[in-house]
Amino acid sequence: SAYKAGKTPKKDKVLSSSKSLVRKRLILELDKYCSLCVRIAAADKNGIATCYCCGRRLPWKCMHNGHFKSRQFQGTRFDFENMRCCCEVCNVTLHGNLKKYREHLIREIGEDRVNALDRKKSQKISTPELEELLVKVKLKYKQLLEAKKNDQNTL
């Protein structure tokens, strides 16, 4: 390590480290707000959401934000076409319950758009694009909260 024997890290390493921390923070915050948006949007006026894969109904706060294309793929990680509200059993235990997920997704958005997610998954997202996306997702979250509160006291 550069810190051993009294050595100091090179300036460019420190800068790239702080840039990667900014990026990691952006990704974590985007994950949080995307999850909130997906789960709140799926909730009915009583705060109950339905699992996209199996139909189990639970309070939205107990649900997960399931991804059809895994979160490891940057190009689709924050794409709302790729995210649906799922129960823990489908999302974790059944590793996304992808057969049911795909069937429902094709029925909902069509096979062409499902296939487009596969092509899009490997796209890279720059840090400025992540920053811009976070602003949009936070706005979407605020709008969803307002809509749900007006719908009734969902939350």
Q: Tell how far CA 100 is from the center of its chain.
A: 19
CA-to-CA dists, residue 55 to 34, 59, 99, 100, 144, angstroms:
21, 13, 14, 11, 22
- pLDDT tens figures, 62-78: 999 999 999 999 999 99
Gap between the Cα atoms of 31 and 15, Å rounded: 24
Does residue 152 carry a pLDDT above 80? no
- pLDDT tens figures, 81-130: 999 999 999 999 999 999 999 999 999 999 999 999 999 999 999 999 99
